[in-house]
Chains A and B, each alone.
Chain A
Amino acid sequence: MTAVSTERATVLEARGLTRRFGGLVAVNDVSFDVREGEIFGLIGPNGAGKTTLFNLMTGLTPPSSGTLTYRGHNVTGLAPHRIAALGISRTFQNIRLFRALSALENVKIAQHVRTGAGLWAGVFGTARAEERRVEERAWALLDLVGLADRAGELAANFSYGDQRRLEIARALATEPRVLLLDEPAAGMNTAEKGQLTAFIREVHDRFDLTVLVIEHHVPLVMNLCDRVAVLNFGQLIAVGDPGAVQRDPKVIEAYLGGE
């Protein structure tokens, strides 16, 4: 459970990622590597560009310049569904579940890239075996996040915390190798945050994932992450193990100094 120290293969490689919105440079020349199997924290004050960086990495926003490499493939500017197919999945800071659909259906939908039944297979019912697998896997994932007993309820009716768990289940349904969690603990109390830390670690271990987490809550990040990157005004000001980053004067000035 200690930080990964041995050199592991690089999974994600960001080089000079930049995104401008008009005159604002939301992400400015950011370069970093994420290693196989680590839990990588992304912290920084509000508006530092953390979510924009996630959006660049999942194809929701194309970068203005720079490249993103995933396992040796250049994935810069690929459509989100292609990136999902390659094995990068995410949750959203402002929760984007399919609100009017049931929890079960939310998780079934996200298995799209790992299944192949086309229009006619669906209409003629020739994809029964695949449908059964989708169904079983959806239930298993709901079991994992503890929501199986409410599988039929609409996503909109779940509490905030449960919606976040459901979103993680949905992200896992795409069978990712890399999971990006955007402020998974937002709006949770201290006890819930503790549970969440354990849960993220469990998911990480069980699925053998590389996890990137954006989080404001510093104790959670320090507790959970193998390495931490700090963004401030769109620029990467520090990367390293949590202890070292916490002592970095630039970081203290930008972010931790306010705590």
Chain B
Amino acid sequence: MSGFLEQYGFLIVTMVQAGLLGLSLYFPLQAGQLSLASPGFYALGGYVAAIMLTNPAFSGLRDTLGNGMFPLTWLVAALLCGLLGLFVGVPALRLRGIYLALATIAFVEILRVVSLNLAVTGGAIGIFGIPQAFGFQDRWQYLWLFGPLLLLTLLFARQLERSRVGRAFRAIREDELAADAMGVPPTRYKVLAFVIGAVLAGIVGAMSAPFLNTWNAKQGTFDASIAILAFVLIGGSRNIWGPVVGGALLTAIPEVLRFLADWRLIINGLVLVVASLYLPQGIVGALQGVRRPPPPRRPPSVPAVVEAPGGGA
């Protein structure tokens, strides 16, 4: 068992991490917003953790908190990404469809160039020698962080979908104008969905900085935007398991096919093309299509007559 984990631990953790990043894109998509901003917030979260864990300015805090420093980096990353998400989201979400996607790509690029040129982020070299979280001896132990985060996120997503806010997201996704006319304020919920994605990506980044040991501008790039989008599209964008399955699969395939040397990239590309052609709903969507959802159950007590609202004037 420990031999297996030593060999594949890094890959398994990366698969879970990919699923989480897929989910960070899934939330705005729930409200119909195609945002590719996740790598930007992921990079920012990572920088927050890297700086807090290595910068001499925080040495006093590190000595006081010990291992408590790690959860604090998650919290600070979540907060900063949430605030930045709000700041970026309010103007950006006035754009629709492909224009929003382009604006979020620009956002990722701006963050990347800024981090390349700041002293505090280590410029082009980045930040290295980031201490391992909780003194972990091996990479697979990061499953203790990413695993529970994934479970919590899935639980959060499931609960959200069943709630009033989740319904508002879906209404906006289906028809923003009709949602507005039916009393659902589109801007508020679009920004909320965007911020949820930003916070998640930020926490994943903050957990990833110790995991990867170094953090630099290569962490948040346009390539990553497209890769994360592929996780969601291949896995399925209408079910919480879609991004998880897509992320895990697309991360594992290049590794599993390593024996094919350079051919593996071609196979990887083929998988993408075939999946998008034949599984437009994604893998999970295709599996789900086989099984129809059960009809909704009528509550035991439905008032026979709808009362006049407002007590009748």
Please give the residue numbers on chain A whose beta carbons come within 8 Å of chain B beta carbons, in ascending order. 36, 58-60, 79-81, 84-85, 89-90, 92, 96-102, 104-105, 108-110, 112-113, 115, 117-119, 121-125, 127, 130-132, 134-137, 139-141, 143-144, 148, 151-152, 170-177, 206-208
* A148 neighbours in B (Cβ, 8 Å): 298
A115-B164, A140-B302, A143-B302 known; A81+B183 contact, CB < 8 A: yes
Contact B183 A112 (CB under 8 A): yes
Q: Which of B39-47, B99-107, B114-122, B304-312 contacts A (4 or more CB under 8 A)?
A: B304-312
Q: Which of B68-76, B88-96, B155-163 contacts A (4 or more CB under 8 A)?
A: B155-163
Is B62 located at the chain interface by the 8 A CB criterion? no
Contact A90 B181 (CB under 8 A): yes
Contact A112 B310 (CB under 8 A): no
> What residue in chain A is nearest B238 (Cβ atoms)?
A100
Contact A123 B182 (CB under 8 A): no
A119-B165, A123-B156, A127-B163 known; A113+B174 contact, CB < 8 A: no
Is B11 located at the chain interface by the 8 A CB criterion? no
* B177 neighbours in A (Cβ, 8 Å): 60, 80, 96
B 280-313 to A, binary, CB cutoff 8 A, 1 in contact else 0? 0000000000000111101101111110111011
Contact of B174 among A85, A99, A130, A174 (CB under 8 A): A99
- Chain B contributes a number of interface residues (CB within 8 A of A) equal to 42
A185 to B293, CA, bound (A): 33
* A112 neighbours in B (Cβ, 8 Å): 164, 167-168, 171, 182-184
Pairs A–B under 8 Å by Cβ, sample size 28 = A58-B181, A79-B180, A84-B180, A89-B182, A98-B174, A101-B174, A105-B167, A109-B167, A112-B164, A112-B167, A112-B183, A113-B183, A115-B164, A117-B165, A119-B192, A123-B156, A127-B164, A132-B299, A140-B305, A143-B302, A151-B298, A174-B182, A174-B183, A177-B310, A177-B313, A206-B305, A206-B308, A208-B313
A158 to B31, CA, bound (A): 24
Please give the residue numbers on chain B whose beta carbons come within 8 Å of chain A beta carbons, in ascending order. 156, 159-160, 162-168, 170-171, 174-175, 177-186, 192, 293-296, 298-299, 301-306, 308-310, 312-313
A112 to B174, CA, bound (A): 15
> What residue in chain B is nearest A88 (Cβ atoms)?
B181
Contact of A151 among B165, B182, B295 (CB under 8 A): B295
Contact B184 A207 (CB under 8 A): no
Contact of A175 among B164, B185, B309, B313 (CB under 8 A): B309
Contact B308 A60 (CB under 8 A): no
CB distance from A230 to the nearest CB of B (A): 25
Contact B163 A123 (CB under 8 A): yes
CB distance from A105 to the nearest CB of B (A): 7
Contact A110 B296 (CB under 8 A): no
Q: Count of A-B contacts with CB under 8 A?
A: 148
Contact of A123 among B160, B174, B293, B303 (CB under 8 A): B160
CB distance from A151 to the nearest CB of B (A): 5
Contact A81 B184 (CB under 8 A): yes
Contact of B170 among A105, A130, A171, A174 (CB under 8 A): A105
Q: A122, A172, A174: which has the most chain B beta carbons within 10 Å?
A: A122
Contact A139 B182 (CB under 8 A): no
Contact A124 B308 (CB under 8 A): no
CB distance from B183 to the nearest CB of A (A): 3
A58-B181, A96-B177, A148-B298 known; A207+B166 contact, CB < 8 A: no
A89-B182, A92-B178, A98-B174 known; A207+B293 contact, CB < 8 A: no
Contact A140 B167 (CB under 8 A): no
CB distance from B180 to the nearest CB of A (A): 4
A249 to B265, CA, bound (A): 77
Contact B183 A85 (CB under 8 A): yes
CB distance from B191 to the nearest CB of A (A): 12
Contact A152 B299 (CB under 8 A): no
* B180 neighbours in A (Cβ, 8 Å): 59-60, 79-81, 84
A58-B181, A81-B180 known; A206+B306 contact, CB < 8 A: yes
A80 to B183, CA, bound (A): 7
CB distance from B223 to the nearest CB of A (A): 32
A79-B185, A121-B163, A207-B309 known; A109+B293 contact, CB < 8 A: no
